[in-house]
Amino acid sequence: MALLERLRSFHRRRIAIPVGAEALVLDVGSGDKPHWRADVLVDRFPDAEHAIQRSGTAVARTPRPLFDADVTDMPFADKVFDYVICSHLLEHVLDPGAAIREMVRVSKAGYIEVPRAASAKVIDFPSHLWWCRYDGTELSFEAKRAHAFDHEIESFVRLPAIERELNSLIDRYLDDCVIAIHWTDDLPHRVVGTVDAQLVEQVALANVHHKRTETMVTRVLIRLFVIPLRSKRRREPVLFDSIVKPELRNGRPEVLQPRRYETRSG
């Protein structure tokens, strides 16, 4: 039963998406595990030198068109996307409020997932900059003052045996350890404090153990779950000029390809 519930959780968080085959879907912060239904990807740090931003492989994947762009200043036109997915990105960025406002600008609806502060304070990821909370109405971000909530507790939970047990516990009860929000039109939010520059510097220098085995398992599960959903993929090609801001259009009927685009807005 525990395994079945974990699979149901995985399906709710990684597979289920309330859009039809005609919808245009954006994945922001797609990294090494882009959403199966996304038509366009965005990742500001796709290269290996920014591997700290990912829990799986070091380099972001480009199975679909990927725009190398800042989530707070994306090169897309207003409301051009029907749905935007942003999973485990906002806790990494310097200004999560600006990121949310930009996603609301380019999309009509979306899904946001972040780690819950209560679980993150027990065992956290090295590149997280914010404690995230949700009261059912407003998503709030509190700036972290240090890499760990408590350094003595951090030293203890990072003991190999303890860390394995805690990670296993979090995996079993992941729904209770994350905040998952489906929004339409807008997402009320609040940002408390600013991230200290020294903490940002520490994050840039931190090491992270990439969970390559878990990443491969995730990809296999996605392939299996998606087999009966192939008809829900978008068939229509996406034109470059149809999604970017007017000032970035090139006037050509250019169909987006599964490669990196480095267009900057502004």
Task: List, for residues 9-30, the tens digit of each pLDDT value.
Answer: 999 999 999 999 999 999 999 9
Domains of the chain by residue range: 2-259
pLDDT of residue 54: 45
Please tell me the distance from the alpha carbon of residue 239 to that of residue 256, in angstroms, as a whole number. 6
pLDDT of residue 218: 84
Q: What is the mean pLDDT of residues 222-236?
A: 91
Residue from 173, 112, 106 nearest 140 by CA: 112
Between residues 191 and 7, the one the model is more confident about: 191
Token pair 């392939």 is at which residue?
A: 223
pLDDT of residue 129: 94
- The reply to whether the predicted model has a pTM over 0.85 is yes
Please tell me the distance from the alpha carbon of residue 72 to that of residue 187, in angstroms, as a whole number. 15
Distances, alpha carbon 226 to alpha carbons 22, 37, 158, 232, 259, in Å: 17, 9, 36, 9, 22
CATH topology of domain 2-259: Rossmann fold (3.40.50)
Task: List, for residues 67-123, the tens digit of each pLDDT value.
Answer: 999 999 999 999 999 999 999 999 999 999 999 999 999 999 999 999 999 999 998
pLDDT band at 57 (very low <50, low <70, confident <90, very high): low
For the four alpha carbons of 134, 183, 37 and 258, in that order, the dihedral sign comes to negative
Task: List, for residues 126-151, the tens digit of each pLDDT value.
Answer: 789 999 999 999 999 999 998 889 99
Task: List, for residues 154-207, the tens digit of each pLDDT value.
Answer: 999 999 999 999 988 988 899 999 999 999 999 999 999 999 988 888 877 766
pLDDT at 266 over 60: no
**Which residues have a Cβ under 8 Å from the Cβ of 152 and sit 6 or more positions away?**
none
pLDDT band at 39 (very low <50, low <70, confident <90, very high): very high
pLDDT of residue 134: 98
pLDDT of residue 47: 59
pLDDT at 211 over 50: yes
Transcribe 60-127 into DSSP letters: ---SS-EE---TTS-SBPTT-BSEEEEES-TTTSS-HHHHHHHHHHHBSEEEEEEEBHHHHTTS--TT
pLDDT band at 33 (very low <50, low <70, confident <90, very high): confident
Structure tokens at 260: 């990196």
pLDDT band at 213 (very low <50, low <70, confident <90, very high): low
Distances, alpha carbon 88 to alpha carbons 43, 80, 85, 224, 249, in Å: 12, 23, 10, 23, 31
pLDDT of residue 55: 53
Residue from 124, 125, 96 nearest 194 by CA: 96
pLDDT band at 264 (very low <50, low <70, confident <90, very high): low
Length, in residues, of the chain = 266
